[in-house]
Structure 1
Amino acid sequence: MNSVVLAVVGVAMMVLGYVLYSRFLARRVYKLQDSFVTPAHELDDGVDYVPTNKYVLWGHHFTSVAGAAPIVGPAIAVIWGWVPAFLWVTIGTVFFAGVHDLGALWASSRHKGKSIGSLSGQYIGHRGRNLFLVVIFLVLLMVNAAFAVVISGLLVNTPTAVIPTWGAIVVALLIGQAIYRLKWSLPLVSVIGVAALYALILVGDRFPVVLPETVLGLSANAFWIVVLFLYAGVASVLPVWLLLQPRDYINGLQLFIALGILYGAVLISAPTVVAPAFNDSLPEGTPSIVPLLFVTIACGAISGFHGIVASGTSSKQLDKEPDARFVGYFGAVGEGLLALGAIIATTAGFRTIADWEAVYSAFGQGGVSAFIEGGAAIVNQGLGIPDGLSATILATMAILFAATTMDTGIRLQRFVVQEAAHIIGFSLNKALATVIVLAVAMGLTFGAGGDGSGGMLIWPLFGTTNQLLAGLTLSIIAVILLRKGRPVLPVLVPLVFLLVMSVYALIVQMGEFWAAENWLLLVLDVIILIAAVWVIFESAIVMSRAKKSPPDLDEDVMEGAAPGKRSSP
């Protein structure tokens, strides 16, 4: 199979999904209205609620949800063959992720920017909300702790990426000032920002930063983990316009340029896919493709983490409700393109099937390193960019997206802690809540692994928990749509599929953890399974009642509208 065919067919499917299917969702299902007053205007506070240009907001949303996961998942899942991974990424992006991401952004915007956890309390009940918050907290904990480990490893293994990684923060701060204080035009800021970022990549490739084996008594990996958490903690309490938005926006542009380089190299060099379409010679110990494929590839097909971001930060910055189609659905398309690029890099970036099999010698192999190695080989072959510089570009891309996900993840976990405190009956300011979040995440990272590897300890549960969260988020969206008398089938199909696959995967993993005597993961698996089943039953009861009740059109008219303004049903 020629990789050009995969690239053209995959990109065409996603583009058509945005042009056609997202338009149907926007007009018939979610009924986005330009006259609706969004929370960003109604509750504008200059910190979390900030009306934002849709392109800047798309950059924030896209890079916050992307991270390393749409690279890691597909780069591992191709062990079953490229066909299953390709089909799940393309179909999942168009009919699952777009519906979920756009729906979560719309639902939160229609409820004053409330998180999906808060909406679960309003539409499912207080028990459902509390259990929902447990799942959300665990997902965020897994993301923050694991991504810190992944980024630190990349900084140590790819020292040429150190300067562009930290230099991008300075670029972002300057871009924020240029947009909001100096009022420069967005195209001018974009050109300058991208040029500065790629200049840093060239500098980093020339001057790699290699840390000594120990720094302040810590290993190089542990030192970077501490620095990353401290940075993410500070970034999470700053106004979104100062660092989070501009950093994510410029990273979004950088990603599309990097993807353009990768896809351009594919079109020019047309490398052959050496990996099997369906792998009949799986290494010993490889789990069954069903249900594990659908939880191994989460981000890039559909991800519950996206719903947390959409309802946690993006909905508070939505300038006009119709912008949700571009921010939410096209954000999912961007991540699908990244996942597709990861599939091509890890199946066509090797010279022979023997080279590919040497990397994929066991389940869990591949990941970011395979993406960087395979992608660099394709870029070198197609565009003549040296292997070292190609690897620096791709490694910087992976690091920056994982880091922006950490920025947003720490902020979102702080929201969850504050919400949980409010439920209990007391309030926490954002500084104290952030300290609690950092203490828990760093406690897991270093307490469970003295060398800082503890962040990966509970990662085997991430895919399953993440997909479960996506299904539960879709259940809330379905209840809202039923209450409004809207078409609900586009939401119900992915909802049922995800809940079945994620619960099935939890049961399968429970047996694996029991056999391995991994009691921590077994206990967490049981807790998540009980919470999930409980929320599923309560959601089903609420949906049944909503289906039998007359549509609540008044709610559709007034949600979030400012006094004196109404949007038509």
Structure 2
Amino acid sequence: MISFFVCLGVLIAGYFVYGAIVTKIYGPDDRETPAVRINDGVDFVVMPKWKLFLIQLLNIAGLGPIYGALAGAQWGTSVFLWITIGTILAGGVHDFSVGFMSMRHDGVSVSELTGMYLGNVMKTIMRIFSVVLLLMVGTVFAVGPAGLISLLIGNQGTTGLFTNTTFWLVLILIYYFIATFIPIDKIIGKLYPVFGICLIVMAIGVAIGIFTHGYTIPEIQLANLHPSKTPIWPMMFVSVACGAISGFHATQSPLMARCCKSEKESHMVFYGAMVSEGIIALIWAAAGSAVYEKTGGLTTGLTEMLSNGQAACVYDICTKTMGGVGIVLAMLGVIACPITSGDTAFRSARLVIADWFKIDQKSYSKRLILCVPLLLAGAFISQLNYTVVWRYFSWSNQTLAMIALWTASMYLFKNKRNYLITVVPAVFMSAVSVTYFFCAPECLNLSVVVAYPVGIIAAVIFLGIFILSTKKRES
């Protein structure tokens, strides 16, 4: 258990120490933020810092740090290291960078930021990439809860309309439409802080339950404990995603960048929310490692439970660590949390398209022009194979994070700031993303003998392109 507490302590210290370093490098000041200067009562709305923190946490988290951490724990307690180091040096920096840059550029989306610093070709790629990713996120976070609600009601002996998955899917998509359309402070601003607190309470309850119910968290070991011996690199680094670094966060941070009263709130709102997510992920990874039996040292129990569905695994852990209270929190978590990530995904998609085509969003009619097609697209994607959509999301998610970090690196270079804080994780994530693309079953499915060197070479090439670009700009 010592490893768990050390990692927990490092995460907390990382917020205060490394988070302060990142803040100093970016240099927030007292200039007017977009929320104050542009305030349109729809997307640009000043909200209190504590509320921004909780909304940002729920925006970027949902069930991401729970599902991702449990998936990562299949490889063993080495996942603790990635969650801890990844959160501090990569995820926190990534989220802070995008949120801060967005504030400096009138709250624009990450795709527009990419165009400003990496050129028009990358801007076009990121525009398309962002919208597709957001539609996938919003849809899978509608299909999952819809299926679970119908299943739970059916288990109570009820029959008829309320056990129909399509019925609940339609209701969730209608809610998405409303949350995407109306001002951010009307539903998101009021409900999200409550659900954000619930997410934190659920994690704390699981952590306490691990100890009070006699489970033991194993110490960190670097051996691959996955039952199928799936390689740790790069599979674990992609599977954990939101628990360490996630490109989805780059699409969400501009939402809160449009609501911050001061740039100095960036440390708590962006870096702090990511550290909190890392802590939540660490707890759930510990739970997955402690609660389930191992066979021959391999994580067979956890893998078997996950094969029944991620929601079933969350439900089982909550029940074993918290009893009856855990059942209530589990239902709230596996149903409400993904829905609250899904609606902001659709909202972000609307804003990316609005920035793309320069469509003012203060007008009801102009918001409708974007909301209706997005809802229809979500309804179409919901009919596709859920598992396949999620697999492609995993890779595209980390690729978006890679591009966002290179964008931040160029921003820091242009502003004569220390860009090593973003270049190092950018190189690392470049290697992860390219390697995964070459060896993952849903991508090229090549041998790791090919994928490993290609990933490393690609990361070096990207670094060389960045260095060459900086030399050209200096000359």
Judge same fold: TM > 0.5, yes or no.
yes
CA contact (8 A) 2:180 2:344 kept: yes
2:67 paired residue number: 72
In the alignment, what sits opposite 1:30? 26
**Mapped partners of 2:44, 2:302: distance in 1:** 46
**Matches of residues 54-65 of structure 1 in structure 2 within 5 Å?**
54-65=49-60
Structure-2 residue corresponding to 1:429: 366
If the length of structure 2 is used for normalisation, what is the TM-score?
A: 0.88
- Correspondent of 2:290 among 345, 348, 357: 348
RMSD: 3.0
Deviation of residue 250 (structure 1)?
Answer: 1.3
Aligned partners of 1:127 and 1:363: how far apart in 2? 40
Query: Residues 133-532 of structure 1: matches in 2 within 5 Å?
Result: 133-159=127-153, 212-214=159-161, 220-273=164-217, 277=221, 282-284=226-228, 287-311=230-254, 313-350=255-292, 357-361=300-304, 367-379=310-322, 387-422=323-358, 429-446=366-383, 448=384, 454-509=385-440
Residues 31-57 of structure 1 show CA distances to partners (whole Å, capped at 9, x for unaligned) of: 112x12111001011111011111001
Deviations 1:288-313 (A, max 9, x none): 221111111100100011111112x1
Q: How far off is 1:10 after superposition? A: 2.5
Corresponding residue for 2:468? 544
2:405 touches 2:422 (CA, 8 Å); kept in 1?
Answer: yes
Q: Give per-residue Cα distances to partners, 1:457-507, cap 9 Å, x unaligned.
A: 321111211111011001111111000110011111100000111011011
Deviates more, 1:245-254 or 1:427-436: 427-436
- Deviation per residue, 1:87-121 (Å, 9 max, x gap): 11111111111101111111100111111111112
Question: Alpha carbons of 1:514 and 1:267: their partners in 2 closer, same or farther (altered >3 Å)?
Answer: closer
1:420-460, Cα deviation, whole Å (9 max, x unpaired): 4459xxx98211211111111110112x3xxxxx3433211
Distance verdict in 2 for CA 1:63–1:340, change over 3 Å: same
Distance 1:545 1:294 in 2: 28
How many Å separate the matches in 2 of 1:472 and 1:248?
28
Q: In 1, distance between residues paired with 2:356 and 2:416?
A: 32
CA distance in 2, matches of 1:277, 1:53: 42
Residue type of the alignment partner of 1:9:
V
CA distance in 2, matches of 1:338, 1:41: 32
Q: Pick closer, same or farther for the CA change 1:396–1:430 going to 2, 3 Å.
A: same
Q: Tell me how far 1:544 sits from its aligned partner.
A: 3.3
Which stretch of structure 1 is more off in the superposition, 97-106 or 247-256? Answer: 247-256
What are the residue-to-residue correspondences of 1:72-111 with 2, within 5 Å?
72-82=67-77, 84-111=78-105
Q: Whole-Å Cα distance in 1 between the matches of residues 65 and 39 of structure 2?
A: 33
Tell me the equivalent position of 2:449. Answer: none
CA distance in 1 between partners of 2:225 and 2:260 (Å): 49
Deviations 1:185-209 (A, max 9, x none): xxxxxxxxxxxxxxxxxxxxxxx97
Distance 1:364 1:540, change over 3 A: farther
**3-state secondary structure, aligned to 1:299:** helix
Q: CA deviation at 1:6?
A: 4.5
- CA distance 1:239–1:479, shift in 2 (3 Å): same
CA displacement, residues 263-303 of structure 1 (integer Å, 9 cap, x when unaligned) = 2233444511479956666444x532211111111001000
Paired letter, 2:319: A
How much does 1:140 deviate? Answer: 0.8
| Distance in 1 of aligned mates of 2:349 and 2:31 | 29
Using a 3 Å threshold, how does the CA distance of structure 1 residues 389 and 507 change in structure 2: closer, same or farther? Answer: same
Taking structure 1 as the reference length, what is the TM-score of the superposition?
Answer: 0.74
- Aligned mates of 2:127, 2:230 — CA distance in 1: 30
- C-alpha separation between the residues in 2 aligned to 1:403 and 1:237? 16
- Take 1:491 and 1:364, find their aligned partners in 2: how far apart are those partners? 36
Rounded Cα–Cα distance in structure 1 between residues aligned with 2:421 and 2:48: 29
Q: Which amino acid aligns with 1:212?
A: T
What's the CA shift for 1:255?
1.9
- Contact 1:479–1:543 (8 Å) recurs in 2: no
Report if the CA contact (8 A) 1:483-1:547 is conserved.
Answer: no
The answer as to whether partners of 1:54 and 1:327 remain within 8 angstroms in 2 is: yes
Q: 1:7 to 1:135 in 2, by over 3 A?
A: same
Map of 2:451 onto structure 1: none
Amino acid at match of 1:14: L
Three-state SS of the structure 2 residue aligned to 1:360 is: helix
- Report the Cα offset of residue 542 of structure 1: 6.2
- Are 1:117 and 2:111 counterparts? yes
Give aligned-pair identity as a percent: 26
Equivalent pairs counted in the alignment come to 459
C-alpha separation in 1, matches of 2:104 and 2:144: 36
Q: Secondary structure at the match of 2:42?
A: coil
CA contact (8 A) 2:391 2:442 kept: no
CA separation of 1:270 and 1:332: change in aligned 2, threshold 3 A = farther
- Unaligned stretches of 5+ in structure 1? 161-207, 380-386, 449-453, 517-528, 552-569
In structure 2, what is the Cα distance between the partners aligned to 1:279 and 1:214?
49
2:286 match: secondary structure: helix
Question: For the residues of structure 1 that align with 2:136 and 2:366, how far apart are their CA atoms?
Answer: 23
1:543 shift after superposition? 5.7
Is the contact between residue 76 and residue 366 of structure 1 (CA under 8 Å) also seen in structure 2?
no
Question: Secondary structure in 1 aligned to 2:261?
Answer: coil
Does structure 1 retain, via aligned residues, the 8 Å contact 2:198–2:329? no
Q: Answer with 1 or 2: which has the greater Rg.
A: 1
Contact 1:345–1:375 (CA<8 Å) still a contact in 2? no
C-alpha spacing 1:131/1:260, structure 2 compared with 1 (3 Å): same
Q: Aligned partners of 2:421, 2:157: CA distance in 1, in Å?
A: 50
Q: Cα offset for 1:338? A: 1.5
The residue identity in structure 2 corresponding to 1:350 is Y
Match of 1:18 among 3, 15, 18: 15
* Inter-partner Cα distance in structure 2 for 1:242 and 1:512: 40
Q: Is the 8 A contact 2:294 2:301 kept in 1?
A: no
Corresponding position of 1:201: none
* Conserved? CA contact 2:306–2:312, under 8 Å: no
Post-superposition Cα deviations, 1:6-64, rounded to whole Å, max 9, x if no partner, equal 4422321111001111011111x11112x121110010111110111110011111101
In 1, the alpha carbon distance for the partners of 2:321 and 2:36 equals 46
